[in-house]
Amino acid sequence: MLNKNTLMSLIMAAFMLFSPAAFAVDSSELIEARQGLMKLYSVNMDMLGEMIRRIQPYDKKKAKDAADNLLALSRLKQGALWPTGTGLASKSLGTKTSAKPEIWIQKENVAQKQKDLVAALEILSRDAGWSLRNLEDSITAVNKACKGCHKDFRARK
């Protein structure tokens, strides 16, 4: 049986869990999250790169999995990870991020860069599991799409 105090604490706990304050994510966490997304891109790209450079043997299943991961990542809705004012120009956050302020101004350009990436990854995920040759052919456009966005919107450290 629940006594009155236990019941009250349970109700309070539930309240805390669902109150907006419990969900408030601060900007540095959002920066870490979007950098985490970028790192996930990198890990999967590196796996494919190692197969291409013959550091690890080409494996159809692993290649297909990495390509599918990349495509799934590129389709995440990222809006919440990029709140305005969390770029390099921010006094409090500027040291934590390499996002150039232009990313919040040139919205169409950013959207186009993201579309380029998704389009290249659709081809990669279709082709990566066929053969090493197909993987090599289709990864070029993906690299280009990553670099294309970094060139405009990511500062070199």
**Cα separation, 103 vs 154, whole angstroms:** 9
Residue 31 carries which side chain, given as an amino acid letter? I
Least separation in angstroms between CB 123 and ligand HEC: 13
Structure tokens at 30: 């959002």
Residue 142: strand, helix, or coil: helix
Nearer Cβ to ligand HEC (56/102): 102
Least separation in angstroms between CB 14 and ligand HEC: 34
Is the CB of residue 132 less than 8 Å from the CB of residue 58? yes
Nearer Cβ to ligand HEC (34/126): 34
Nearer Cβ to ligand HEC (98/134): 98
Residue 154: strand, helix, or coil: strand
From 76, 79, 62, select the one nearest 117 (Cα to Cα).
76
Structure tokens at 17: 């869990």
Least separation in angstroms between CB 68 and ligand HEC: 13
Least separation in angstroms between CB 74 and ligand HEC: 7
Instruction: Give the list of residues 6+ apart from residue 10 with CB closer than 8 angstroms, or none.
Output: 2
Nearer Cβ to ligand HEC (47/146): 146
Q: Give the footprint of ligand HEC on this chain (CB under 6 A).
A: 31, 34-35, 38-39, 41-42, 45, 70, 97-99, 103, 110, 113-114, 117, 142, 145-146, 149-150, 153-154
